[in-house]
Chains A and B, each alone.
Chain A
């Protein structure tokens, strides 16, 4: 197995902590982490962290800036696989990575135990692997699957 170029995207806070808990799965690959919170340290010291702005439903005016930030990151990294735990910026990262031929993996946050997040529902169209951390939710959407939770 040759090392793959991975783009690993999570907003600051819970999305990021969950992505960090998955970091052993990325060992041996070329990981580029992307997050929204300036000053965030990567889970492994050798990995790089790129910053994006934190656009959301309450801050839609930042979406254009976010789009170009992510486009630039995807063009530079050329990810073979893109993984995101959310939220909205992660969804956009998955969509753009998919356009550039990456395999895409969406892992919906463990916080969404009763229904998928809005981003998570939309991610179903763009994710090659579409995961919830709550197995009882898999029946709600065809194609949604689960590897269990990060906790």
Chain B
């Protein structure tokens, strides 16, 4: 089963239409979509406007592939579950979001194992026609790195000195997404 989701806030019919086109033409694979505020009527998808968070979580766990907009919730959860995810960023110039951060996110994850990036509908369909290449990654820890957690804990407990100074950077973190070893 493939899970398609586009978040709960804004419509994203370009992605839904592309996946639906492939699902209809393929006819074999079950595709369940949380399609949100969509005006598109799918032919190949089993679509729901919104799914209960627990139901959605269990679909994420069962899916062999997640297809989503380039939202961090979908990407992080797929990485934590060790599921492959195909993402397409929303284009704010087409009114699909308030700004271009999803495009930046998509570019950041181009080289991350298990995250496959499509920048348009044609690339979505291309990836899906070669679905055997969308391999599952090793799962990533569901916790933030220890260095992050210990600094946050120190701030909460009030023992941190240099909170509002710009000299407390962690050099070298996050130039690429970190993976669990």
Contact = CB atoms under 8 A, between A and B. Distances in A.
Q: Do A and B come from one complex?
A: yes
B114 interface: no
A30 to B, nearest CB: 12
Interface in B48-94: 52-54, 57, 71-77, 79
- Secondary structure at the B interface, as helix, strand, loop or mixed, is loop
A111 B148 contact: no
Given A14-B76, A113-B104, A148-B147, A21 B166 contact: no
B144 A22 contact: yes
Q: How large is the interface on A (under 10, 10 to 19, 20 to 34, 35 or more residues)?
A: 35 or more
A145 B170 CA distance: 10
A128 B170 contact: no
Nearest to B149: A25
Given A112-B101, A148-B174, A105 B152 contact: yes
A128 B165 CA distance: 11
A114 B72 contact: no
A56 B173 contact: no
Given A29-B156, A147-B147, A40 B166 contact: no
B135 to A, nearest CB: 20
Contacts of B158: 103
A147 B148 contact: yes
A40 B150 CA distance: 26
Nearest to A109: B72
A17 B163 contact: no
Contacts of A145: 162-166, 168-169
A54 B10 CA distance: 12
B149 A39 contact: no
Contacts of B150: 25
Nearest to A13: B73
Contact of A128 (B52, B152, B164): B164
Interface in A104-151: 105, 107, 109-114, 117, 128-130, 133-135, 138-139, 142-151
B158 to A, nearest CB: 7
A17 B77 contact: yes
Given A57-B98, A135-B171, 4 more contacts: A13-B9, A109-B72, A117-B101, A147-B147
8 contacts: A17-B72, A22-B144, A22-B152, A81-B156, A114-B101, A135-B173, A148-B170, A149-B173
